[in-house]
Amino acid sequence: MFKGFKTVFIKEIKELIRDPKILVGMILVPLIMLPVMGLVMGYAVTSVEEQSQGSTLVILNNDSDGDWSQTFVTYLSSIMSVQVLSDLSPQQVIDQKLLATYGSTQFIEIPAGFSQNMTLYLEGDHAITTNVNVYGVFQGGGMFSDLGSSEIVAYVNAFNRAIAPDVVLTTHSTIIKDQVQEGIDPATLSMLMLSQSIALPMTVMIMILSSMQIAATSVAMEKEEKTLETLLTSPVDRFAILMGKVSSTVIVAGIAAVTVLIGYSYMIGSITMGIPDTINVDLVTLGLVPSTFGYIMLGISLFVTLLSALALAVIMSSFSENVRSAQALVSYIYPLIFIPSIALMYLDINTLPTAIKAALYAIPFSHPMIASKAVIMGNYTTVIFGIIYVTIFTIIIMYFASKLFSTEKILTAKLMLKKESKKKHNDTN
């Protein structure tokens, strides 16, 4: 029954381990992508923590005459660098760009009556509550973007432990697009926005990967079916051949971009409708749902990115002899799609060091992910920059492709390999 099993098994193993496609899937992804993912997540947590620890904490003390407010400020200044403001409303802090001046993205307000309430509470009137309000700027967010505010809560709790349990309570508010939204907890908001910040990059990643696999077959299929030579010797402009191939992928890119947008808009609608009334967050009222213009910009960003990916796949497949090797070749650029997708799920690009930010901006496939957050925040300049950048990238790719098609290189890469292998074969004989 098992006669010949060993022979077949060994042959199968040889074929599998010699297939570059398998190597990419089995080695490149687990050994490179997963550590990269870990690094990104680790970096995301560290950078948010460092940002909150290293930056100046802005304290808006609207109880500046009170003793307890002074004690609280002294306590906080013993832990971290603080900048104290007074007699301003939270909205005035934003309007006067004071957070930007002190390089911070959050501030804590000690409201008027803080000291009085503290005194009453400590004298035994536990019906009185004393609050501080933590205001955090919502920047589109990443998975760990609310870590900063939780750190302030930890300091308040430490203050409580030193004075009396639960003497100071913390309330949270969020600053969205320079407007103070009282009572909106950044943590709740982050949780709601998280589904968006993960779903779109995931969808775009899958869409780009699958479209590239299809586009990679475009020229490779011509080579595999031996139709390319006939086509290249026909009285047709070679650039027309290339454009014909890429243009057909434009249709695919257009359909894909529209499909993603419909799904994305439906997803956001479902999230908005699904938010329970007990959570006092309305994404539409808060302006955290893309506008029609935002959707259009996001659609264009998706379209040009897909186009660049497809054009790149067509060119890469020109260097392959058959469909299988074309798909394997294309898979070598998967890290350029995986890394920005994963990174932008966890990280807010605005908070990254310049070098990493530049690297992410340089990868054309990052831009739909960047755009998805930017359109929510109304930052259309970033989206337009991305569209222009990716368009230029695509034009450059197309230029090189036209050069490749106009020379014998489209055939000779294969020819040289054949000749070399023949030579090697002859040498061994």
Contact between 412 and other proteins by CB under 8 A: the answer reads yes
Nearer to other proteins, 60 or 314 (CB): 314
For residue 45, the minimal CB distance to other proteins (Å) is 51
- For residue 262 the two structure tokens come to 């419909």
Does position 182 interact with other proteins (CB under 8 A)? The reply is no
Binder among 10, 53, 229, 388 for other proteins (CB under 8 A):
229
What is the closest distance, in whole angstroms, from the C-beta atom of residue 230 to other proteins in the complex?
A: 6
Q: Map residue 127 onto helix, strand or coil.
A: coil
Using CB under 8 A as the binding rule, whether residue 214 contacts other proteins is answered as no
For 189, the enclosing helix (H) or strand (E) is helix 186-224
From the list 43-51, 174-182, 231-239, 362-370, the region that binds other proteins by CB under 8 A is 231-239
Q: Which of 23, 120, 232, 296 binds other proteins (CB under 8 A)?
A: 232
Q: What angle do CA 218, 219, 222 make, to 5 degrees?
A: 100
Stretch that binds other proteins, among 39-47, 151-159, 234-242, 260-268 (CB under 8 A): 234-242
The amino acid that residue 131 corresponds to is N
Stretch that binds other proteins, among 2-10, 142-150, 167-175, 418-426 (CB under 8 A): 418-426
The binder of other proteins chosen from 230, 278, 354, 428 (CB under 8 A): 230
Whether the CB-CB separation of 253 and 307 falls below 8 Å is answered with yes
Residue span binding other proteins (CB under 8 A) among the ranges 56-64, 273-281, 347-355, 417-425: 417-425
SS3 of 93, please? helix
In the three-class reduction of DSSP (H, G, I as helix; E, B as strand; rest coil), residue 429 is classed as coil
SS3 319: coil
- CA dihedral of 286, 289, 293, 299, whole degrees rounded to 10: 160
Residue 247 is a binding residue for other proteins (CB under 8 A): no
Residue 329 C-beta: closest distance to other proteins, Å: 21
The pair of structure tokens assigned to 199 is 């779903």
* Residue 39 vs 415, nearer CB to other proteins: 415
The dihedral built from the CA positions of residue 88, 93, 94 and 95, taken in this order, carries a sign that is positive
Torsion angle of the four alpha carbons 55, 56, 57, 59, in this order, in degrees rounded to the nearest 10: -160
User: Smallest distance, Å, CB 215 to other proteins?
Assistant: 16
Residue pair 103/77 in contact (Cβ under 8 Å)? The answer is no
Interacting residues with other proteins between 380 and 409 (CB under 8 A): 407-408
Residue closest to 376 by CA, chosen among 109, 212, 161, 195: 195
Per CB under 8 A, the segment of 89-97, 337-345, 387-395, 413-421 that binds other proteins is 413-421
Stretch that binds other proteins, among 104-112, 184-192, 222-230, 382-390 (CB under 8 A): 222-230
Sign of the torsion formed by the C-alpha atoms of 192, 194, 197 and 203: negative
DSSP β-bridge partners for residue 83: 58
DSSP string, 43-69: HHHHHHHHHHHHSPEEEEES-TT-HHH
Q: Which helix (H) or strand (E) holds 257?
A: helix 238-274
> Is residue 419 involved in binding other proteins (CB under 8 A)?
yes
| Residues within window 292-331 making contact with other proteins, judged by CB under 8 A | none
Among residues 89, 237, 280, 284, the one that binds other proteins under rule CB under 8 A: 237
Q: Which of 5, 123, 127, 234 binds other proteins (CB under 8 A)?
A: 234
Q: Give the β-pairing of 57-61 and 106-110.
A: parallel
Note whether 420 binds other proteins by CB under 8 A. Answer: yes
| Closer by beta carbon to other proteins, 282 or else 321 | 321
CA torsion sign for 360, 366, 368, 369 is negative
Q: Which stretch binds other proteins (CB under 8 A): 155-163, 220-228, 279-287, 357-365?
A: 220-228
Residues near other proteins (CB under 8 A) are: 225-227, 229-230, 232-237, 407-408, 411-412, 415-416, 419-420, 422-423
